[in-house]
Chain A
Amino acid sequence: MRSGEDIVLEILGRSFTVKRPALWLAVALFLISLSVIEYRVFRLGYPLFPTSPVKAWGLSMEVFFEPTGKDGKEMEIRAGLPQSRPGEAVIEQGDLSGSLQFNLLAEGLNQIGVWSGDPEEGRVLSYRATVLLNPKRLAKPKPPGAESFPAIIADKSEQILAKRLVERYASLKAPEKLKAIGSASKGIWRNPQPDDNDLKQWSEVQKKHGAEGALEILLRVANFPIRKVQGFILAESVSTQPDRWFAVWTGQRWRPMQIETGDLYPESVRLLPLMIGDTPLVKISGAKLQEVRWTLSKQTLSKWRSHFERIQRSTRFLDQWSLFTLPKEFQDNFHILLLVPIGVLMISVLRNIVGFPTFGIFMPVLMALAFRSTGLAYGLLIFAGVVLIGYLLRRGIDRLRLLLVPRLSFLITFVILAFAVFALIGSKFGMREFMAVGLLPFVILSMTIERFFIVIEESGTLRALQTAAGSAAVAAITYKIIQIDPLQLTFFVYPELLFAIMGFLLLLGNYSGYRLSEILRFKILGEKP
């Protein structure tokens, strides 16, 4: 008596008596696929799970302006824009309005966007950027340069006073010292307290230079390199004014400090600097600035997008031959094209292992692609409607004794007419889906209808309906699978997976075991004692 396991092994062994060349070819294809992926992941640093989400922020800026009325005068708008730096990466940015000429300039520490052109061309410009926050890549920040040691704005006596006030903190370490000075700007002095006379004089200085100026004086006399920064706190928001803060160098890194209160921003707050220095964030000449609106929104990107920029610049062979390097509009086509092999693999499985009856071999794949533009429910509805119309009409048309091709053409024409009527009804009742009949899905569904009628003629209505149901089911399953975004992305990032699909198809082509449908079909034989 053999154990059940042995029998199963024997079945698999016999069912998969793969011809040797096919087996080797399949193995070779798997190996190619695997090794290219391995190379991409380990050598080129591709994400192993390209679809796991990454946090990013979308910044959009809209500038509204009005021409000054002076004819022929060029206008120019300069605005501080985000730039890649340690901890942040700008993965895409661009001008959306297109009416003005747009250039990017590096100016000192800043990235400046310059728009220039005829102000009459447009009254608004808009800009978008996606900024990726990458906490892992906190490379060493650049130490301060000369620009971070601005001349002290106070006069001699004020400087002496300020020096005396901060001297008491000389023994503190830089970060602590910074905190102490910060709280001093609110009037809270750490022990030992300064004497009343000094405090009185200091409040005069605060009045003269303002809280901001006084804080700057204190920081500068304590020898902290500082930068004045304009930008935004990262939070979902719409603002018309940028946030401002001091970035203070503590010897290791820049700490952001609130100007009004002297408090340090907590570590959990992330800031997006757009402009370092006193230059206004948005400057305009040759036209009148009306309003600037910045919108920040959180975005979830898949990891491969964050690799986009890097891959485009890379000189490595596989990066240069990546599908990412195609122009954007063609990339979209390939997103779909690469799904077709998944679709045909599905069909092969569903037909040869499950045993679905379908119209033609690849018709269900095409139907699944058609569903992409109609949506599943509406696509199935179209399909059912067309089949129904066709069936009812055929009964009547039979008596007219038309030749085959004109007869089918007549039916398809009628079906198109029905769609036009549907679309009109849809527009009357404001139902968009009724109007959304794309050309491609229609052509594909019409071809399916033709097959449907031929099956009716050849094998009867029952068989035709079964096949129609089978096709619809296979198309729906295929559609569901190719709609899985992570799968799409994975194939786009790793097109070498197509080799693996070819390998699977080779193995599947050698499958000589039973189909699931045959369990039912030959049930009577299996039951025999």
Chain B
Amino acid sequence: MIVRQFLSLRKAGVLGMNRRNTQYIMRFNRRSGFPLVDDKLTTKHLALKHGIPTPPLYHVISYHGEIAGVEKALGDREEFALKPARGSGGSGIVLITDRREGKFVTQSGKAISREEIRYHISDILSGIYSLEGLEDKAVIEGLIHPDQVFGKVTYEGVPDVRIIVYRGVPAMAMVRLPTRQSDGKANLHRGAVGVGIDIGRGKTLDGVRRSGAIMRHPDTGESLRDIEVPFWERMLLIAAQCTDMTGLGYLGVDLVIDKNDGPLLLEMNARPGLQIQIANRTGLVERLGMIDRAPKEIFLSPEKRVTWAIQTIAEPRS
């Protein structure tokens, strides 16, 4: 019974957690590279150095004593995103779209008081959202205005694009669409919808929510299929550059598409999840194998790797 199940996963080329850890993360991601991606501030500085666009940084709060000065530092900015620098899985992120009568209005329209914001920043500094529960910093950066390409299949929030980059070559991609259940957040484990993206054509495939397949967005009812992702090649290139930037060989790159600024690097993940396989209805093993067998010369530059990926990694046309 179980052997048969294992066999069918094997046949589908599904990459399991153990194999991802032993054969890819442990082999291609050296530990010293992890801090580069675990801390959003470090990532931001690194990206800046390499000319990769990220959301603009407004303010950093490192100590509890600085909390009181937040409003002053914000000046008259009406919209911003408040994030823990070392947060994971989208936890602790608050998006503010407006300020009215001393209160902050979140993206979902809820008004929260100044005290609540301070309380939240204090939580962030205490490390409640950080990966190992260590003391953390709070980052305030520019709010993203998502490109309307996914407008019809998004419930509030900002959809983001996840690209798995293996040895500098984009291997698999998906877009994560917030839903009512995920509270406007683009995290699959919170109930967001994941939709695979054909690397070659830059078009969306079918969707997945939790572990089930879906064709339409659960809140808007719009079809998820065949949406053409703008700036696709540029996004693939940014993703490919991230490997050169960090030296990590197995990387998850998260991007957003801003209405005005185009694709921006949001964050990177040195232990990217495996759910992307479900969104693509394809196992990663074969793709990673293809990249391992790719001609040596494509690894010379990010551009060559992207070109190779677009030509070679084709979705099963169904």
On chain B, the residues within 8 Å of A519 by CB distance are 2, 5-6, 9
Cβ A518 vs Cβ B16 within 8 A: yes
In the complex, A525→B89 CA distance in Å? 24
Chain B residues closer than 8 Å to A463, beta-carbon distance: 189
Q: Mind listing 17 A-B residue pairs with CB under 8 Å?
A: A454-B128, A457-B91, A457-B129, A458-B91, A509-B22, A511-B18, A512-B22, A513-B19, A518-B14, A518-B17, A520-B211, A521-B274, A522-B14, A522-B277, A524-B281, A525-B277, A526-B11
Interface residues on A, range: 35 or more
- Residues of B near A401 (CB, < 8 A) are 115, 119
Please name the 10 residue pairs, one residue from A and one from B, whose CB atoms are nearest each other, closest first: A404-B126, A526-B8, A512-B19, A514-B16, A519-B5, A401-B119, A512-B22, A525-B12, A526-B9, A522-B14
Chain B contact patch, size range: 35 or more
- A514 in contact with B6 (CB, 8 Å): yes
Interface hits, B85-124 → A, CB 8 Å: 88-89, 91, 115, 119, 122-123
Number of CB contacts from chain A to chain B under 8 A: 105
Known contacts A404-B126, A519-B9, A524-B213; A458/B89 CB under 8 A: yes
- Which residues 499-521 of A have a CB within 8 angstroms of B? 509-516, 518-521
For chain A, what secondary structure do more than half of its interface residues adopt (helix, strand, loop), or is it mixed? Answer: helix
Q: Shortest beta-carbon distance, A401 to chain B, in Å? A: 5
B8 to A512, Cβ gap below 8 A? Answer: no
Q: Does B212 contact A (CB under 8 A)?
A: yes
Q: Across the two chains, which residue of chain B brings its CB closest to A457? A: B128
Partner of A524, one of B22, B189, B190, B212: B212
Q: Does B144 contact A (CB under 8 A)?
A: no
SS of B interface (majority)? helix
Mark B174-191 against chain A: 1 for CB-CB distance below 8 A, else 0.
000000000000000110
Chain A positions near chain B (C-beta within 8 angstroms)? 7-8, 11, 15, 17, 352, 355, 401, 403-405, 454, 457-460, 463, 509-516, 518-528
Set of chain A residues within 8 Å of B281, measured between Cβ atoms: 524-525, 528
Instruction: Please determine whether A460 and B128 come into contact, CB atoms closer than 8 angstroms.
Output: no
CA–CA, A27 to B18, complex, Å? 22
Q: In the complex, what residues of B have CB within 8 A of residue A520's CB?
A: 211
CB distance from A131 to the nearest CB of B (A): 52
Given A11-B10, A404-B126, A518-B17, 18 new contacts (CB under 8 A): A7-B7, A8-B3, A15-B19, A401-B115, A404-B122, A454-B133, A458-B128, A463-B189, A510-B22, A511-B18, A514-B6, A518-B14, A519-B6, A521-B278, A522-B277, A522-B278, A524-B208, A526-B5
**Bound-complex Cα distance A520 to B2 (A):** 11
Contact partners of A509 in chain B: CB under 8 A = 22
